[in-house]
């Protein structure tokens, strides 16, 4: 995948909040009552949201790094960069998930240089879990979000750090 990452702007954020996913993925649909707050969060530089464009400059996905990729109730004590992502609804289910996640991890590694990546995925979202496992994540824990008891899975991918040995 030849993808370009750029900081999320209001135009892309408004597109994201208009995306509508079919069942069982409708929990990812933005709440119409909170659209202004959602656009503000997506464009807040503190949350590190990025729009992802394909080779034709079409907006195909987004990702975020850090605190906004966490879910209340999860254990985030281990040192890792949290990663969240969303694929345009008409592109889901076509086997593109693992390539997208790998591109996001490559970008995240270059931009943030973390010791590991962590993804928190809804328990029902087998497609996203499978895509994460395909790029080297391993399941660490499961938990229920306190507000609604929805189950989530925390996955971790440690980065390989190459060390250069000096010759003497």
Quick one: pLDDT band at residue 161, thresholds 50, 70, 90? low
157 in any annotated domain: no
Give the Cα separation of 99 and 1 in Å (integer): 7
- What is the bridge-based pairing of β-strands 138-144 and 4-7? unpaired
Single out the residue of 165, 159, 121 nearest to residue 143, CA to CA.
121
Range of the domain at 99: 4-115
Query: What is the per-residue pLDDT for 160?
Result: 75
138 in any annotated domain: no
Tens digit of each residue's pLDDT (9 = 90 or more) over 63-118 = 999 999 999 999 999 999 999 999 999 999 999 999 999 999 999 999 999 999 99
131 in any annotated domain: no
23 in any annotated domain: yes
**Structural domains counted in the chain:** 1
Q: What is the CATH number of the domain that holds 48?
A: 3.40.630.30
Query: What is the per-residue pLDDT for 166?
Result: 39
Give the Cα separation of 121 and 83 in Å (integer): 10
Single out the residue of 128, 134, 123 nearest to residue 92, CA to CA.
128
Tens digit of each residue's pLDDT (9 = 90 or more) over 111-151 = 999 999 999 999 999 999 999 999 999 999 999 999 999 99
């Amino acid at each position: 995948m030849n993808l370009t990452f750029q900081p999320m702007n209001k135009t892309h954020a408004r597109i994201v909040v208009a995306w509508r996913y079919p069942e069982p993925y409708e929990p990812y649909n933005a709440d119409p009552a909170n659209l202004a707050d959602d656009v503000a969060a997506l464009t807040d530089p503190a949350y590190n949201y990025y729009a992802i464009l394909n080779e034709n400059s079409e907006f195909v996905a987004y990702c975020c790094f850090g605190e906004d990729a966490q879910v209340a109730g999860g254990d985030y004590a281990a040192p890792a960069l949290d990663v969240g992502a969303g694929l345009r609804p008409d592109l889901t289910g076509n086997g593109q998930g693992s390539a997208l996640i790998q591109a996001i991890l490559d970008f995240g590694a270059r931009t943030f240089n973390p010791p590991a990546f962590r993804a928190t995925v809804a328990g029902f979202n087998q497609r996203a879990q499978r895509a994460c496992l395909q790029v080297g994540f391993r399941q660490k824990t499961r938990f229920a979000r306190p507000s609604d008891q929805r189950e989530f899975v925390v996955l971790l991918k440690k980065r390989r750090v190459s060390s250069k040995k000096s010759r003497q």
